[in-house]
Structure 1
Amino acid sequence: MLNKKLWYLLIVLSLFAFLLAACNEEGGSDPGDEEEPAETEDPAEEEEPAEEEEPAEETSDEPVEGGELIGAMDTAPAGVFNPIFYSEAYEANILDFTHESLVGQNDNLEFIPELAHDWELNEDQTELTLYLEEGVTWHDGEEFTAEDVVFTYESIASPGYVEAGGIRTAFVTPLEGYAEFNAGETDTFAGVTAEDEYTVTFHFAEPNVNPLYYASYSIIPQHVFEGVAIGDMPTHAATLEPGEVIGTGPFAFTDMVEREQYVLTRHDDYWQGKPYLERITWQINDQSVISSLLENGEIDFVADPSGVPAADYEMVSGYDNVEIIEQTDFGYQLMGFKMNYRTTEDVESGTINPNNWVENPNVADQQVRQAIAYAIDRPGLVEGLLYGRGSVINAPIAQQFWAYTEDVPQYEHNQDTANQMLDDAGYVDADGDGWRDMPNGDEWVLDLAFPTGNQIRERSAPVIEENLEEVGINVNLMQPKEMTAYTEDIMTSDDEQEIDLYLIGWSLGSGDPDPSGLWSIEAAYNMSRWNNPESDELISQALQAPEAFDQEYRTEVYGEWQNLFATDLPAVLLYAQNKIYAFNERLNGVDPLPYAFANNPHLWWVSDAQ
């Protein structure tokens, strides 16, 4: 086994070599280092008159119409461009430009008007009435109305939505009549009603502490999907195909070369005013070459979800034509423990039923999970792979939220503690092969899965493998898969698959610190299949009125929940990587939110537009 310091040195050297190779692949050498050789003059030839120089392109200090941008992603979207069915951040990069919500958020995470220009709450916060903008059109010219809002929420609440792959039920479960409608006991969903064409009311079953959060989900067009069975929506053309995907946003999804580029074209009749840019194209590039493409001007920006690699920060910040924005990530990277598996039957039927789950004996012992946390050198990951541009975190709530706390178990890197805890739990080398065995003497091998695309995460996997092997844990580093196939494996893994540990990153919702979408027992994104009733009880308490109207009360409850999470440990939180956004100086109007780069893209403009 390699010495740890040597390992990190090798990583840095290999990264440097990788970047040099990438530059050579793109054209032989760094284009900034060479000029075209001058042609040799023939003295016998008559000198031709010099050609007139092309006039320099004019640039503007004021917004001008026209031009286009190219953005880079290191991983292709899975291909589901429907807000109620998409599942990953690469698809969100398209939807952020094409679809909109009734309300948005500002820099302080306060809710602000979007498709709804005003709203009012009744006294006990069981009814939220929103007044919609008039004259808003979908990309196909149809008018946006309250019926589209009702249809969107009815679809998410519908029987068969989860079975079809839907994972957004958190937005409808608090609404009146959800259980009855979802069970098929009634044909009418009472939770969201249209008062007239431009007024919609959300009805909550109980007083709600953050009603605007539930009204903040992106809206889909009724006229496009009406009559389509919920089970058929994920494969409908309006979910998958450019030109068929319809939103109200400033840009329409008009063309793609799958897994290569995705084209967004200006929506001329956009309700907030015609966007300045004509077109934005997302281009899929290997992460190793993105920085050089920025320097060359072949791409204009790199943003969510990966941004500029931390290793490239100093280099990119030195580019004369590039501006950089660095901010704390609104999320985290983790190594999850696959604590339970769904049965094959439940996977095939799309059912998430904790009563049927099969426990994974390899990581069932809480003390073992804690020992593994002590064994992983998380500060080393931050320093060695992130170059210090990130932080170790221990609680699964975004650091920007008032609810986040570090008053939880810390699991500072300590191999002696890890070894002692494993010994105490009975995980010792019983057969003398150098690896720990299970207490009953069976071989103990942990299968660690990870995806391709994010190079920092890819490089984290062998470091974690080495850390665990240093305390005698035999780790099988599985063959990495492309993100789409990988997430499907983790989400649908059953008791016949061999996955014990998995790497994933979460970009968290900005509307509320409520962690139920990722960590409640029946949440689809609860990839660990963590089955802890005390966790669900605390999550429920933090939303229970009237006590939860007091933010101090919610802070206290979420503190208890974070402590429970860090103790029971369904996952080791590895780090929060700083988001490093970079864009060409020709792009103007960039004003990132704490959780996203794309903010008011209809106001983006380029200074060299023709």
Structure 2
Amino acid sequence: MFHSKKWALIALLTLIGGILLAACAPPTEQVTVEVTRVVTETVEVEGEPVEVTVVVVETIVEEVQVTDEPEEVPPKDLIVCLSQEPDTLYPAGGSMLAASSVQSAIWTSQYQSLSYDYQPDGIVKMPSIADGDAVVNNVEVTGGEIVLDTGGNPVALEDGVEVFNVDRETIVFDGTPIMMPQMVVEFEIVPRQWADGEDVTSEDYLFTFGINSDPDTPSTKFTVDRTAAYEANGDLGITWTGIPGHLDSTYFTNAVPGGDGLRLYPEHLWNGFSAAELLEAEESSRLPVGDGAFRILDWVAGDSMILEPNEFYFRADEGLPYLDSLTFKFIPDTNQLIAQLLSGSCDIGTQDGLSASDSPFLIEAETNGLLVPYFQTGTVFEHIDFGIDSYGDFGDGVGRPDWFQDARVRQAMTMCTDRQSMVDNILYGRSEVIHTYIPSVHPLYPDGLTEYPYDVEAANALLDEVGYVDTDGDGIREDSITGVPFGVTLGTTVGNEMRQQLTQIFKENMLECGIDIELYYLPSSEWFADGPDGPLFGRRFDLGEFAWVSAVQPSCNLYLSSQITGPEDEGFGGWGAAGDTGWSNEAFDLQCNTALSSLPGTADYEDGHKEAQRIFSEEVPVIPLFLRLIVAAARPEVVNFGVDPTNGTELYNLYEIDLQQ
């Protein structure tokens, strides 16, 4: 029995082996072929045997091995649809979002700014005090040097100039040498090449700095003016030295001062042009050679721009970029842009062509598997400012009671504002209520921040406590001293649907708390005009609605006492300053100034920013409302695409965006 089982098992294994061999054998098919043979045979001719040669053609059926033909893989051609056509591709020539999107394909940025932090790209690392590639030296200044004065301005050091010494003491220069802090930062350049194969070197950085420093280059000179020296450190190194007194909290971004702060200029191609000529030259404005993942092949004005991979891209050995070609199409009409996304004529629709008002349609398209919408809270936040300390003969007991001087009134009005309703009804629930001048995802968002809920009952109780009550039963509170009804105006810009909606919601909310709001709308040029004529920055308003931009570094400087608008000779910050509310708080000033004069990574920097926000949220000089949305959309087959809150464009990583096939 044992032997019979053994032979049965062997037979089974043999059968299985045969099946497996058959399964693993190359595929075959039967074909009919003609086989021609030359045959020699003997035949009888008149009784005699004779050898003859004949050609015989036979038709037979044979088994032949089938060779699979490789499938032809279609090229990966990504089409990005922008609502605007760039006016120039020269990095120092403008600030259009559409231009920045294309520049991201052509150039390697020195760094990226993602999720409220910084990441190196064209430089090997972000320098830091901790690593020793950024240092603060104590230097002696004796007069004549460009230094930073106590007002934050670069000036020539001469008698009477006020500066901070190394101990942060205010010193009035009288010819006696002063010890001041000075930053020195070293940057290591990533080895790479221009799209024509020439090496990128420190000479390109020096050339770029020279162009950005030129008065004919229309870009910010803030960092340029605070640069004492900018020098090559070998072929792949740059050393930036700040002027004495300038402790730059974003020192690690100073690899390319001026311009757009990100992109480099090819010295070997542009050195024949002046700074003024580079604004218009085709080599810089229309067909620039960069050091990024792509290079321009053609630009058809009013229609499209076609790019191909840069064969010299420094990450080409990683298989980057993944795409075979990149096309930018210019489609100013939003409906047409969405239609082309749905038809597959566009793969990506960018934020300049889409808005929160498109959300319902994009969400429906996502439900049906047609598109992938991207909703990201950005860095722009809407807010309603209180006219706490007005200027001149407006308000504050002149023309109206001083409604907003008591912080409890501001707190009550904040609790009476249904900010979540604004988010739900205007931004389709895709944004978030904000409680300070940075969002909750910011790394410097503090514990212990006062976050006022929507609570009409608590708001009314607080207003009662202040003494503003409705004595005549008409639903509107009155000032207890003058008997004037609590009726104020709220102004903002005309022609902005979002702001019209939110101000209407606010007006309705305030009626629940016995406050009557009269709405008015002005052209932006009038609303935002400098004082004393402009109502907002002239501090001649009751309530004002507009937006500020939050940043990687919290913008506490917007609310410093030194920023209150008004004549400088009266002790204010000037009519070009930012402090429209007139709010002044010594404790806030101390914490904010401590943070601003400290470097990232230090306790003073972090603690100062966090404590300043705690004071701000308790005092509420403004009602922070919500973050604006960044909206973009892509076809489902687009991968590695996304929207970041702090990067200037969603196309920052075109080198790794891919198409599934």
Q: TM-score, normalised by structure 2?
A: 0.58
Query: Is residue 162 of structure 2 the alignment partner of residue 111 of structure 1?
Result: no
Query: What CA distance in whole angstroms lies between the structure 1 residues aligned with 2:99 and 2:386?
Result: 25
Q: Which has the higher contact order (CA 8 A, sep 6+)?
A: 1
- Superposed, which structure 2 residues align to 1:336-355 within 5 Å? 336-337=384-385
Q: Residues 110 and 68 from structure 1, CA distance in 2 versus in 1: closer, same or farther, beyond 3 angstroms? A: closer
For residue 417 of structure 1, report the CA deviation from its aligned partner. 5.2
Q: Alignment partner of 1:130: what SS?
A: strand
- Secondary structure at the aligned position of 1:542 is classed as helix
Q: Per the alignment, in what secondary structure is the counterpart of residue 574 of structure 1?
A: strand
What amino acid does structure 1 have at the position aligned with 2:377?
D
Whole-Å Cα distance in 1 between the matches of residues 306 and 526 of structure 2?
A: 30
Residues 1:86 and 1:602: Cα distance change in structure 2 (over 3 Å):
same
Q: Which has the higher helix share?
A: 1
Which of residues 471, 475, 480 is equivalent to 2:518? 475
Of 310, 313, 318, the residue aligned with 1:271 is: 313
Aligned-partner Cα distance in 1 for 2:405–2:504: 24
**CA–CA distance in 2 between the matches of 1:529 and 1:144?**
49
2:286 corresponds, among 236, 243, 246, to 243
Match runs of 1:436-585 below 5 Å: 444-449=488-493, 452=496, 459-468=501-510, 471-478=514-521, 486=524, 492-499=529-536, 500=541, 501-504=544-547, 506=549, 508-509=550-551, 512-515=552-555, 521=563, 526=578, 528=580, 532=584, 534=586, 535=588, 537-542=590-595, 544=597, 549-550=601-602, 554-576=605-627, 581-585=632-636
Shift in alpha-carbon separation, 1:456–1:298, aligned structure 2, 3 A: farther
Match of 1:373 in 2: 414
Q: Give the AA of the match of 1:296.
A: S
**Partner AA of 2:419 in structure 1:** R
The alpha carbon displacement at 1:514 in A equals 3.8
- Give 1:541 shift: 1.8
- Measure how far apart 1:196 and its partner are: 4.2
Residue identity matched to 1:146:
S
Q: Cα 1:278–1:300, aligned 2, differ >3 Å: closer, same or farther?
A: closer
The structure 2 residue matched to 1:590, chosen from 641, 647, 660, is: 641
Residue of structure 2 aligned with 1:200, choices 238, 260, 273:
238
Number of residues paired by the alignment? 492
Q: 2:77 is matched by which residue type in structure 1?
A: G
Which residue does the alignment assign to 2:263?
219
Q: Does the 8 A contact of 1:450 with 1:502 survive in 2?
A: no
Deviation at residue 192 of structure 1 after TM alignment? 2.9
Give the Å deviation of 1:279. Answer: 1.5
The secondary structure found in structure 2 opposite 1:395 is coil
The DSSP-based 3-state class of the residue aligned with 1:329 is strand
Does 1:132 find its partner at 2:162?
A: no
Percent identical residues: 15
Q: CA offset at residue 378 of structure 1?
A: 0.5
Confirm or deny that 1:391 pairs with 2:432.
yes
Tell me by how many angstroms 1:321 deviates.
Answer: 3.3
User: Contact between 1:134 and 1:198, CA under 8 Å: does it hold in 2?
Assistant: yes
Distance 1:448 1:469, change over 3 A: farther
Provide closer, same or farther for how the CA distance between residues 445 and 515 of structure 1 changes in structure 2, counting only shifts above 3 A: closer
Deviation readout 1:465-499 (Å, 9 max, x if unpaired):
433455433332426x6xxxx4x666544332345
Do the aligned residues in 2 keep the contact of 1:71 with 1:300 (CA within 8 Å)?
A: yes
Gaps of 5+ in 2: 1-70, 137-182, 397-402, 564-572
Spell out, residue by residue over 1:56-115, the C-alpha distance to the aligned partner (whole angstroms, 9 max, x if none): xx995xxx7552413355xx5896866567567566445544554323356794523325
The one-letter code of the counterpart of 2:202 is A
Q: Cα RMSD over matched residues?
A: 5.2
What whole-Å deviation, never above 9, does each CA across 1:528-566 have from its counterpart, x for those lacking one? Answer: 4777575454234225558x6445x54432221112332
What amino acid maps onto 1:70 in structure 2? V
Query: Residue 199 and residue 418 in structure 1: after superposition, are their counterparts in 2 closer, same or farther (change >3 A)?
Result: same
CA–CA distance in structure 2, aligned partners of residues 257 and 473 of structure 1: 53
Is the Cα contact below 8 Å between 1:302 and 1:583 reproduced in 2?
Answer: yes
Q: Which has the higher Rg, Structure 1 or Structure 2? A: 2
Q: Aligned letter for 2:613?
A: Q
Q: Given residue 539 of structure 1, which amino acid in structure 2 is its aligned partner?
A: C
Letter in 1 for 2:238: V
CA offsets per residue over residues 6-54 of structure 1, 9 Å max, x none? xxxxxxxxxxxxxxxxxxxxxxxxxxxxxxxxxxxxxxxxxxxxxxxxx
Q: Name the counterpart of 1:316.
A: 365
**Structure with the larger strand share:** 2
Does the 8 A contact of 2:437 with 2:556 survive in 1?
no
- Render the CA deviation track for 1:307-355: whole Å, top value 9, x for unaligned: 66543454132232323455x524353124286999xxxxxxxxxxxxx
Question: Does the 8 Å CA contact 2:195/2:295 hold for their aligned counterparts?
Answer: no
Could you tell me which residue of structure 2 aligns to residue 351 of structure 1? none
Q: Secondary structure at the match of 1:399?
A: coil
Judged with a 3 Å threshold, the aligned counterparts in structure 2 of structure 1 residues 241 and 213 are, in CA distance, closer, same or farther, namely closer
Secondary structure of residue in 2 paired with 1:560: helix
**Does the CA-based 8 Å contact 1:224-1:238 persist in structure 2?**
no
1:102 aligns to 2:102 (yes or no)? no
Contact 1:402 1:555 in 2 (8 A): no
Paired with 2:212 and 2:463, the residues of 1 have a C-alpha distance of 45
Structure 2 CA distance for partners of 1:282 and 1:201, relative to 1, 3 Å: farther
Q: Does 1:331 find its partner at 2:369?
A: no
Normalised by the length of structure 1, the TM-score is 0.62
Q: Identify if the C-alpha distance between structure 1 residues 433 and 325 changes in structure 2 by more than 3 Å, giving closer, same or farther.
A: closer
> Offset at 1:397?
2.1
Q: Which residue does the alignment assign to 2:452?
A: 411
Could you tell me how far apart the structure 1 residues matched to 2:658 and 2:253 are? 31
Question: Which residue in the other structure is 1:121 paired with?
Answer: 132
- 5+ residue gaps, structure 1, are 1-57, 173-177, 183-188, 343-356
Whether the aligned pair in 2 keeps the contact of 1:322 and 1:583 (CA below 8 Å) is yes
Whether the aligned pair in 1 keeps the contact of 2:359 and 2:428 (CA below 8 Å) is yes
Report the Cα distance in structure 2 between the residues aligned to 1:225 and 1:493, rounded to whole angstroms: 41
> Which residue is 1:382 aligned to?
423
Would you say the 8 A contact 1:465–1:477 is kept in 2? no
- How far 1:377 moved relative to its partner? 0.8
Equivalent residue number for residue 8 of structure 2: none
What is the alpha-carbon distance in structure 2 between the residues aligned to residue 334 and residue 153 of structure 1?
Answer: 36
* Amino acid aligned to 1:562: Q
- The answer to which of 405-414 and 572-581 deviates more is 572-581
